[in-house]
Structure 1
Amino acid sequence: MKRYLLWLLLIGISHAVPLRASESTLEAPERVVLQLRWLHQPQFVGYHMAKAKGFYASAGLDVEIRPGGKDISPVEEVLSGRADFGVGNTEVLTSYASGQPLLALASVYQHSPSIFLARRDSGILTVDDMRGKRIMMFSAHQDAELLATLFYQGLNEHQLIPLPTSVNIEDLIEGRVDIFNAYLSNEPFYLEERGIPVSVINPRNYGIDFYSDILFTTQAQERAHPDRVARFRAASLAGWRYALAHPQEAIALLRKEYGVNRSQAHMEYELQVSKEMIQPLYVEIGYMNPDRMTHIMQQLVEIGLVSKPVSLHEFLYQAPSEQWIFWRPWFLLSLAASVLILLLALYLLMCNQRLNREIALRRQREEEIWQLARRDPLTGLPNRLSLMERLDAQVKGPAPGCLLFCDLDDFKQVNDNFGHSHGDALLCQLAERISRSLGPQHFFARLAGDEFVLLLPGHDQAQADAIAEQIRAVMQSPFEVEGVPLTVGISVGISQYQPGWRAEQWLIQADRAMYHDKGSPLAAPPG
């Protein structure tokens, strides 16, 4: 079909009016301004790459990329006309809901990297631990996912000590604040580089999953210049595809052209985490699910950032085919009317078939993403989110049972002496070894790092003690990684469910019991 279409295209061109160069080469490039949310960094490198690789120029655009800052609002810059396009967060949606005529072109990040960050030695490990603590955040509209996390966990500003964010991570390091609003792709690595263990409290682990880094413009811009908007969007997403496929080239560009002076390891980490948030292997970059956006809108209503739900019909951009964007001048200038009609008919038939395939594939990928969000990528075990969902359901049942909190002893020495690859391989073998020793009714999950949790539904203390000993027994044999025998111990804390406990309380009690088993002088006896 495609070969036949190309043959007809060549026939049409030979009978059409003489070709002339595309509009973008005949006219001076259109100058537009893109306002970023923050400074030049890997978070926005797709736009930098679109400019560097000539994607914008090929689309007839001369793009100025302006860095953002603490006191710069991309929404205000675009609405005022000082910028044509912007990159924003949930404030783009809340501004639209309040009556501002904004248009979301693409959501580059499928998951928001916004997190709460605390020093691990502060003892702040969960949202519950944040009560009465000093916390730095942006305004509610800029940190909506963080505000939603607090709201749904029953915390309000009267139970915290809110401080306006300084955007200076030294405030957390020096102890001037207890909890800092941060990005998963940035500050955690910076603190780890400095040897400061951190506690990451991720809204996704509490059921808050917002879009982030939304590329947007005004509805007036799209009405006045629909072709320009389409070309800018297509070129921007092409830049993102290239940047994610060529990370070292992207990092070199930021360092050379934009003066980004972070370490190579830091920028590699930031770009890798950004890729995990963008999910290019599972969804088309920039994809926005109307149902998911409606769900986010409803959550914003519940936390008070939006007064009432509004229709998203005029908010979500309907992108034309990128192929049509680039071929449009040739069709308009070169083909006779009769040949054009035939080509368009065949083209639409192909697009319809492709669209049907893509819709089916997209639904399949969204289901895969849903499952992947609940699995630990290293061991394949259920992750923290999956565990908390199971615990929430278990505490509502007639016989919740017991919870085992397992922590490896001297695991850090394995990483220090043999490298993280050996440590990762050991964790995978451990997960498989313990899983084989358990029954189908048991629920075994990886919480984080070298911490694992085992749910024993309907079990009493004696049964849980027996299984704990069983786990210690299977750990006696050394693990072998690339011919190297590795031996680690394991500390097991047991907590039998008590009436009235919430899932988070149950997990904390098991954690305390584990430290009691480990013999830590800082551990409280299990409750």
Structure 2
Amino acid sequence: MSNSSSPIGRVRTICFLVLCLITRISGAAESELTPVVVQLKWLHQFQFAGFYAAVEKGFYQKAGFDVTLREAAPDINPIDEVVQGRADFGVANSELLLYRLQGAPVTAVAVLIQHSPLVLVSLAESEILSPQDLIDKRVMFPHGPYGANTIGILRKEGVLLSQIKQMPLSFNINDLVEHRVDAMVGYVTDLPYQLRKRQIAYNIMDPRSYGIDFYGDTLFTTENHAMSDTEEVARFREATIDGWRYAVENPEEIIRLLQSKYNSRKKYDELVYEARETIDLIVPKLVEIGHMNPGRWGHIADTFAALEMAPRDYNLEGFVFEPDRNDARLVLRTALWIGGLVVIAGAVGIFLLVTFNNRLKNRVELHTHQLREANEALYEQTQTLMEKEQALYKLNHALEARVEERTEALAQANQELKLEIAEREQRELSLRLLSKAVESSRSGVIITNADGVIVYVNNAFLAMSGYDRMQVFDKHISSLEERVCFPRLDQINFRELPEPMVRDELHCYDASRNQYWVQISIFPIYEQAARNYGVFRPAPEKVSHYVVTCEDITLLKKSKDEMEQLAFYDHLTGLESRLLFKLRLENAITRAVRDKSMIALMFIDIDHFKEINDNYGHDAGDEVLKTVAARIKQNVRKNDTVARISGDEFTVILSDIRGHADARRVAQGIRRTLNQPFKFAGKEYFVGASIGISIAPDDGVELDELLKNADTAMYQAKRNGRNDIQFFSHSMNEEAKKKQALEAEMIQGLSKKQFRLDYQPVIDLETKKLVGLEALLRWNHPGQGVIYPDHFIPLAEETGLIVELGKWVISEVISATQELRKMGFADVGVAINVSARQLRDKGLIADIGRIVAAHRNEPCNIQLELTESTIIEELEQSNRSINDLNRLGFGITVDDFGAGYSSMSNLKQLPIDCIKIDKSFIHNMLRKGDDAEIVKAMISMAHNLKLKVVAVGVEDAEQVKFLKENQCFLAQGFYFAKAGDLHEIIGKFSAPNVVKLTP
């Protein structure tokens, strides 16, 4: 019977066929590449660099994929392409999560760019600096989920979509440059480059500045693909991440590839800019490429929910790709499939085994019969042999006794030899393993004898140091000090160290004199330990060898230095940061207490810095800050500390001073240098310095206490008119508490409607009729009675409450003008005082516009009064704001004319209707000839400029006579009436006026 027809042959045949089938399937799987289509978000550019690297460097092919990278167009949505099966993978921003929350079956596989590149860009000349500035502006951004970033910024800052003019996204920068839109969404990786190339200044609103930090480009697929083909998706993910790692490390190569093979429409310089910005958004030094934080996805989902763009009861199960979890399911299915095959194979095996046993039984019976016959013949021969064996037995017995003795001795010797050989083989194996580990280690290893002569170096040390093996072998370790300066081995007392080694960091040079850092560890090997191949150290033994390991820590040290630089130093000025400043201050206080010495803490706030930023841009502001830092450092000693703790706030620590005089002298020097002009781009800028000083231990020995006291003194310097130096005193705290209490009462008073307006009439001296009113603010304090503006307006301006008070006053006055029309005094205008703080408020125009709209845009007949100093202090801002207010229908009056420092050239730039002569001139004009001449000159000037002129503070008939004689026919003051209720004042005038105060 042949092997092929036997049961064993059939089993062998079946196994061979199964093996061939498995081998054929496996070979086919390995030889064929799986085709994969990746839908990109846009045209070929560096934004997708990792995909090109994965294709061109074979990462995809090695993982078993034949990948096609498909460009996108404005009408192609990568998410739709993947969901509808036209692509296997796609690239999307965080809008992917919004699609998921709206029901799309998508799964995020890997985050490739950690921060979204989308920003809002406007031209610098538009002065759009915040979301509030976008009100009534044309803003170009995409509809739907792709506009999430922009909608998030607007809603975060309280701006409704109905308040802006949304324009469809055209991807055309000329729409912004040619003023067809006021702001547009763009990528920070390319839009700023295009504007800079055209030498166009621009502003950027980054969503991260408003608490919206979405993920950037994210690799995704369908949830079904991720669940059913987990291993394939995981392989594709790893190959893609490998491509991105290569692209980040070799951007120049990818840029050349984009130009030569992928026909990128971008030029080389533009791709270089895009690469740099894209890598910054990837942050590869801090975050592993591809890393996704489910918590951050949850935060993004919360943001969508808060912006009412997604439901609050969302579920992210299945959205974030988790290969380990999916692999477990695949393993279970595979195990069940294999178990089924095992059962089938077992059944076949049992059948074949039964057949084989039956045939074997027949063969055994045949052989048993044959053996029985042979055994009978053998028995006869055995009987003969037994007789001969008996004779041999006696002879053999004596021989065995001697052999046993020799065998026992040999066995004992052989056993001892085996043990020795086994121990030696084990030691040799350990040495080979140790040698292999040391030779292949990335750490440099040097072994010297007890005298420091090098007996071994591994390849890692040679590569690190640039030495050739023959240059160092059999040389003393000190001969390497030109490149690596090791400590003297014979001077180290290892027995006195807490652990039997020395660790240190060394500054080294390679063969090309390039610098690098290594961390070394030095271990002694003792004679007894060497014999036992260990590193323990019994006390009496001597050192036989030294082992020195070297770990290259250059990148680690560089990263550490960079982190320390970011944490401890201000990137703009190079001064110490708030964190390092506090450490310095704590140390200075500790030394002062210990040595019973004094230190001074200066808190310096730069006056008028905001105006430079607002009027000339942040570039000018940054240059001023850098120059301020340099000038402050010029006035202090090298061991003193100068820090920038916020935008325009600096601190100085003066150690070991003798008293207040030392601190004052330094502060005066700082103020003097900061009062010098600052030059930038052909212009000169002027700032001042408000400096508050606290002294330790006089003003406290706690860090927070000294800081608070210096800050309090600085605010006192601000209140004194700025550009002042103030030492802290405890009375300042009392004053600050009073102001805080008054501020709280003012806020409460505004909410409880405790404020009212009184009105003082303006009279036509010829007709003696009412032509105007001036609204004067009063506070009906529940505990103190009526409080006049002089007691609370300065604090309102300091705290910013004047803005809310001003809006209330304007609303009340508009209502008053409507009431005047009803009473027949339609031509009587009402004047309102506007402060410099209100004029600086960026929301002033928009707020007043809303107030006017709330009163149905009825004609106001309102004059806004601004003092000369207000106009000149904020001339450029004033010019814009005053013109905007004039366009809303308000008249403009210069109040307290003559008390300021304005020039005619400045005033002629503004749409002024009227001037009010300061009451100090009216009061003295009949007593001082100079004042009389000044009044005459002001009246004449007003007439020449075709402006109305009002005399303020008229108190007697002689003043009226003088004014009429000099052609001033409008006046107000106690001579006519004190300020009072609107209806009281109107009641004194029985007929409507005949002269208009405003045009």
- Global fold match (TM > 0.5): yes
Matches within 5 A, 1:39-78: 39-78=43-82
Shift, 1:428, TM fit: 5.9
Give the alignment partner of residue 210 of structure 1, picking from 209, 214, 235. 214
- 1:138: Cα distance to partner? 0.8
Report matched runs for 1:138-149 at 5 Å. 138-149=142-153
Match of 1:454 in 2: 649
Counterparts of 1:406 and 1:434 in 2: how far apart (Å)? 21
Q: For residues 223-250 of structure 1, what are the alpha-carbon distances to aligned partners after superposition, in whole Å with 9 as ceiling and x for unaligned?
A: 2221211111111111111111111111
Q: How far apart, in 2, do the equivalents of 1:468 and 1:206 lie? A: 39
Corresponding position: 1:405 with 2:610: yes
Residue 541 (structure 2) pairs with residue 239 (structure 1):
no
Residue pair 2:123, 2:177 contacting (<8 A) in 1 also = yes
Q: How does 1:223-234 map to 2 (within 5 A)?
A: 223-234=227-238
In structure 2, C-alpha distance between the alignment counterparts of 1:186 and 1:44, rounded to whole Å = 14
> Distance in 2 between the 1:107 and 1:382 partners?
35
Matched, 1:498 2:797: no
Hey, what does 1:274 align to over in structure 2?
Answer: 278
Contact 2:642 2:650 in 1 (8 A): no
Q: Match for 2:307: what amino acid?
A: I
Match of 1:131 in 2: 135
CA distance in 1, matches of 2:568, 2:95: 28
Contact preservation (8 Å) 1:134, 1:178? yes
Of 661, 668, 673, 1:473 maps to 673
Q: Residues 303-322 of structure 1: matches in 2 within 5 Å? A: 303-319=307-323
Cα separation, partners in 2 of 1:45 and 1:435, compared to 1, 3 Å:
farther
Q: Which amino acid in structure 2 is aligned with residue 156 of structure 1? A: L
Contact 1:475 1:490 in 2 (8 A): no
Distance 1:501 1:302 in 2: 30
- 1:300 aligned to 294, 300, 304, which one? 304
Aligned equivalents of 2:183, 2:802: Cα separation in 1: 28
Quote the Cα distance in structure 2 between the aligned partners of 1:497 and 1:477. Answer: 29
Q: Is the 8 A contact 1:298 1:309 kept in 2?
A: no
Taking the aligned partners of 2:66 and 2:840, their CA distance within structure 1 comes to: 59
Q: Quote the offset at 1:404 in angstroms.
A: 3.9
Question: Are the equivalent residues in 2 in contact too, given 1:491–1:517 (CA < 8 A)?
Answer: no
Residues 24 and 60, structure 1, Cα contact 8 Å, conserved in 2: no
Report the residue type matching 2:259 in the other structure.
R
Q: Aligned equivalents of 1:209 and 1:373: distance in 2?
A: 22
Match of 1:346 in 2: none
2:498 is matched with none
**1:206 Cα deviation from its structure 2 partner:** 1.2
Partner secondary structure for residue 255 of structure 1: helix
Distance 1:497 1:470, change over 3 A: farther
Give the structure 2 partner of residue 254 of structure 1. Answer: 258
Distance 2:668 2:299 in 1: 42
Gaps of 5+ in 1: 1-16, 322-364, 384-399, 416-422, 446-451, 457-465, 480-485
SS at match of 1:141: helix
Aligned partner of 2:649: which letter? Answer: L
User: What is the Cα-based RMSD across aligned positions, in Å?
Assistant: 4.8
The aligned amino acid for 1:246 is N
Q: Contact 2:94–2:216 at 8 Å: present in 1 too?
A: yes
Structure 2 distance, partners of 1:112, 1:507, is 37
Is the contact made by 1:516 and 1:524 (CA closer than 8 Å) also made in structure 2? no
Deviates more, 1:257-266 or 1:85-94: 257-266
Paired amino acid for 2:55? K
In structure 1, distance between residues paired with 2:92 and 2:167 = 22
**Alpha-carbon distance, 1:426 to partner:** 9.9
- Give 1:38 shift: 1.2
Change (3 A) 1:127 1:64: same
Whether contact under 8 Å (1:106, 1:288) holds in the other structure is yes
State the AA in 1 paired with 2:648: V
What is the Cα deviation at residue 509 of structure 1? 4.0
Distance (whole Å) between structure 2 residues aligned to residue 402 and residue 474 of structure 1 = 10
Contact residue 152 and residue 307 of structure 2 kept, 8 A: yes
State whether residues 297 and 309 of structure 1, in contact with CA within 8 Å, keep that contact through their aligned partners in structure 2.
no
Deviation at 1:313?
Answer: 3.0
SS of the residue 2:248 aligns to? helix
CA separation of 1:61 and 1:179: change in aligned 2, threshold 3 A? same
The higher radius of gyration belongs to 2
- Cα deviation per residue 1:247-290 (whole Å; 9 max; x = unaligned)? 11111111111111323222111111111111100011121112
Identity %: 33
Cα distance in 2, alignment partners of residues 298 and 207 from structure 1: 12
C-alpha change, 1:125 and 1:56, in structure 2 (3 Å) is: same
CA distance in 1, matches of 2:110, 2:635: 47
Change (3 A) 1:488 1:158: closer
When residues 65 and 29 of structure 1 are mapped into structure 2, their CA distance, relative to the original with a 3 A threshold, is same
| Counterpart among 191, 199, 211 of residue 203 in structure 2 | 199
The letter for the 2-side match of 1:143 is G
What per-residue deviation string (whole Å, max 9, x for no partner) do you get for residues 452-506 of structure 1? 53399xxxxxxxxx99994671585999xxxxxx99954449895412769xx99
Separation in 1 of the partners of 2:56 and 2:309? Answer: 38
Q: 1:302 to 1:426 in 2, by over 3 A?
A: closer
The separation in 1 between residues aligned to 2:181 and 2:569, in whole angstroms, is 33
How far is 1:26 from its partner? 2.5
CA contact (8 A) 1:46 1:240 kept: yes
Deviation at 1:56, TM superposition (A): 0.7
SS at match of 1:216: strand
The 1:127/1:162 distance shift into structure 2, 3 A limit, reads: same
Once the two structures are superposed, residues 275-326 of structure 1 have per-residue CA deviations (whole angstroms, 9 ceiling, x without a partner) of 11111000111211122211110110111211224232311112459xxxxx
